[in-house]
Amino acid sequence: MARWIKAALPAVDGQTTGVEYVAPRNAAEEMLCEIWGEVLRRESVGIHDNFFSIGGDSILSIRIVSELKKLGWFLAVQDIFVHQTISKLSLLIKKIESEEELNIKKKETHIDKLTGEGKEVDEGVF
């Protein structure tokens, strides 16, 4: 069993990422920073912080998407895995105008995942 020298390990305060803090530049980035801070229990989140580097994981990504939905916004969980910073994700979130629109966005995301092209797929085949 390996033994660790505690003094040699980096501080685990959960706040240091090695990325220079950049404040939100618009309302979408500000909203995402607030949600990430709340879900990840961080005092501040910059727009270039990597979701996974600051403590994010697959379960927390689902919580992020859920919090956005409560506020009337749509973002797919897989978007967080591909575009891991707020600066990139802020360009992808979409305002949900109705429950029907939400269902359409979910279906489009599912189709994109299956085909990689966003074309209609006969889901009965799968």
Residue 94: in which H helix or E strand, if any? strand 94-95
Domains and CATH numbers, the chain: 21-95 (1.10.1200.10), 97-126 (no CATH)
Contact 125, 117 (CB under 8 A): no
Answer yes or no: is pLDDT of 56 > 90.
Answer: yes
DSSP state of 97: -
Query: What is the DSSP code string of 29-82?
Result: HHHHHHHHHHHHT-S---TT--TTTTT--HHHHHHHHHHHHHTTEE--HHHHHH
Residue 90's pLDDT band, with cuts at 50, 70 and 90, is: very high
pLDDT of residue 75: 96
Task: Express each pLDDT in 11-55 by its tens digit.
Answer: 445 455 678 999 999 999 999 999 999 999 999 999 999 999 999
Q: Which residues contact 65 (CB under 8 A, 6 or more apart)?
A: 75, 76, 77, 80
How high does pLDDT run on average in the chain? Answer: 80
Enter the pTM of the model.
0.69
Q: In this predicted structure, which of 35-39, 66-70, 89-93, 117-121 has the lowest mean pLDDT?
A: 117-121
Contact 50, 61 (CB under 8 A): no
